[in-house]
Each structure stands twice: as structure tokens, then as C-alpha cells.
Amino acid sequence: MGSEGKATAAAAKKGDKPLIVIDAGHGGSDPGKVGVNKALEKDINLAIAGKVKTLLEKQGVKVIMTREDENGIADSKAEDMKERVAIINREKPALAVSIHQNSYEGESIHGAQVFYYTHSKGGEKAAGIMQEALLAVDPDNKRQAKANDTYYMLKKTEVPVIIVECGFLSNYEEAEKLVDGAYQDALAEAVCAGILQCLD
């Protein structure tokens, strides 16, 4: 059993509520992507992450957030990322979910997509479940969960981690949806459903 499997087994052995870490990407002086509608990724990430936390807690899941306000968690981007990884490795959740928004030079590109670490079987399984769950929000989305072996958070964590890119801030229609409270609620419900399925 790899370190990832051991960490998850150790978390399960505690016998209490399942634990999930929700990471709202960026924050503080790091806005993340800036939408065509001038929306900041860091704010959208935090809004959706907070809603996911509330929904999970109603289902009896213990949730730890890497950040719960507009601030980042360290002064530099590199230290911020290291601290997020440290929180995940210290807490050893059953799954960590990092909420982000995407951007691309082509304005027509849209749709949510989930990323996982190439060498993580647990991450791959969770990403597939989550990609499917997100169809509740956008049934026409043809994107597939995608392996990645370069993202720092995916490489350096010891438990299954997925990055959920909820949509493209470079697409006008999607950017407007992503700042809408009702759409954020729907996204949060889909993410929550995906997480609960992963815990089954």
C-alpha cells in the first residue's frame, strides 16, 4: 500500500465522521484568473467552497477549509501553496478538493473539468466520479477528467486530491454564471454529491 492508501486507511480507522479538506484556490494578493467580466477567481472559489462546506456538514461530514476569508494563507505564492499541501498532509482527509476557475485564450471554450494526479488511483477514481456529478449543472459538458503530473498540489500530497475547475472565466456566458449565487449553489450541490459518492 502506497503512502496515499495508508493515509486514507489511517483516516478511516479513526472511526469518526469522514473528513474532507476543501481548498479555495488563490486568495489575498493572488487573485487567480480575472474574468472577462472582471470577476476575480479567488472570490468565486471562496464562495463555492463555503457553500460546499455547508452542504457537507449538513450530511455529517467533517470539513476543514484551507482558507475561510479573502486572505491567502502565506505571503508568497510558493509558501501559500506549500502551506495548503501541509494542511492536507497533516489532516489526512479521505479526499481533498481544490476549487478553481479556468481560463483560455479562446473565448468559446467552456465547461467544468476535474484534474487528478497521474499516479494516484484514488485521485483518478474521485475525479471520474466528480466529473460525472458536475453533469447535473451542465448536461452538455463533454469534458473528461484529466490526469496531470505537474501541479504542485497534486504531486506533493499524500492522499487523493482533485482540482475542480468549475468553468472558464474567459467565456462571457460562463463567467456571468460563475458570479451568480444560484449557479454557485448548483455547482456546490454537484460537488457535494460527488464527494458523498466518493465517500460511499
Least confident of 34-48, 54-68, 73-87, 125-139: 73-87
- pLDDT, one tens digit per residue, over 88-114 is 999 999 999 999 999 999 999 999 999
Domain boundaries, the chain: 3-7+17-199
Highest CATH level, class, for 3-7+17-199: alpha beta
Q: Give the angle subtended at the CA of 116 by the CAs of 178 and 175, to the nearest 5°.
A: 10
- pLDDT, one tens digit per residue, over 118-154 is 999 999 999 999 999 999 999 999 999 999 999 999 9
> Within 13 A of 67's CA, how many CA atoms are on the CB side?
24
| Residue 83, pLDDT above cutoff 90 | yes
